[in-house]
Chain A
Amino acid sequence: MKRILLLFCLLFLVGCDASPEKAESSAILMGTYVTVTLYGENKAQLQAAADGALRIAEEMERVFSFSDPDSELSCLNRSGQGTVSETLWNALEIAVECEGLSEGALCCTMGKLIDLWGIGTDHAAVPDAADISFFVPAEDAVLLLDEENRRVQLADPDAQLHLGAVAKGYAADRMAQYLRDAGVSGGALNLGGNVLTFGEAPDGEHWTVGIADPFAPDDVLMTLTGNDMSVVTSGGYERYFEEDGIRYHHILDPKTGYPAQSGLESVTIIGNCSAQCDALSTAVFVMGAQRGMELVESLDGVEAVLVTGTGELLFSSGMDAYRGRS
């Protein structure tokens, strides 16, 4: 009988286990729902840090927004040239590097083409074919960068910068850095399809991140486990519209000006730098399975999960380190 009493006492003790405090802050920013979830010992400090991280996202929105006429990016697009902030410059460098690595599968100067399609807005429609070909980015370099002076020039008056493929990832990196500097021991950031985990998981072991099933986005296709990882997914299921029974998604192929038809439904990139993962997920989606996977395999510390149009899952060679349960 004493043993039973002891068991009850133990159960109560387990129930009173000192699990970490949790604080959460969220808002619609950068065109998505941003959530900051932090764990630690002092709830008030955690909440202040979570709110501070959201303010970083607000700052990033003021830099990168394509639709806000007062953003730094919009001002640059209007003037066609200028000296830019360190934030804009750093993100631009990552995007341009990915443009080179992907042989143009990612392009950060097709703002007018993206605006023409209007996917995700109330004016989404299939544009006139002539308009599409007019705004397809030129093969020649239209972006002139002067690193020493952080000066940017758009050589083609019809080119407009659009950093949607890298901005949320860059914001996640900056927010995580802010939280680490603030002494937060662990947390997770979710900016739409961009997830970043850092520090200690609440269970003291690993963070678990789910990858959405592109054929049923409310369902989890598989889970990844790890620490200090960025997981970014791009998929045709995220934003799209339908016209005459055809689905037009938001990831445009810079070479054709139309939504990419690469045979992939979604691309998930896992790595340490969220901005790089963000850019690569778009580029690999456009490149397709073979070329995309070759690119991923050529990069250190970057892994990928590709879902093809037939539902087949393709994994990069180092994915075993992250794979949870299917």
Chain B
Amino acid sequence: MKRSCILIGITLLLFALGILGLLHGKRRGQWVVILQNNIEIQRVALAEVTEPRIICVAGKNGEENCICITPEEVYMESANCPDGICMHMGNIIDSDAPIICLPNGVVVRILQEELP
């Protein structure tokens, strides 16, 4: 009986540590990837973002998209595209769905990747 209790305790502890590890690992391995015309132009490690950062992407014909990255949020701050749809796509930090600006050819997505 006593040995069984110890075994359960160890199992629960390992389980809890595993969950903590997964959560921690996920955050450490999150990247914000910015693509323009299907070419990756910038990759930002979220673990290194400690305060809000604005990254602006300029196109050849005057297109401009500004992406705001904070430790908690990634969203399109401003864009001069004709429809403005990308600015209404909200915060994608916990989403599989990217921010897509079709007219300006800009995509912002969150990439889960293990650190080397």
Q: Which residues of A contact B (CB under 8 A)?
A: 1-2, 4-5, 8, 26-29, 31-33, 120-122, 124, 239, 241
Contacts and interface: CB of A to CB of B under 8 A. Distances in A.
A33 B102 contact: yes
A29 B103 CA distance: 12
A1 B4 contact: yes
Contacts of A239: 83
Interface in B38-59: 38
Contacts of A122: 82, 103
Chain B residues touching A, majority SS: loop
B38 A28 contact: yes
A5 B10 CA distance: 11
Closest 4 CB pairs of A and B: A1-B4, A27-B38, A122-B82, A33-B100
B98 to A, nearest CB: 8
Nearest to A9: B11
24 contacts: A1-B4, A2-B4, A4-B8, A5-B4, A5-B8, A5-B11, A8-B8, A8-B11, A26-B107, A28-B38, A28-B100, A28-B102, A28-B105, A28-B107, A31-B102, A32-B102, A33-B100, A120-B83, A121-B82, A121-B103, A122-B82, A122-B103, A124-B82, A239-B83
Interface residues of B, number: 16
A86 B98 CA distance: 35
B1 interface: yes
B100 A1 contact: no
Contacts of B7: 5
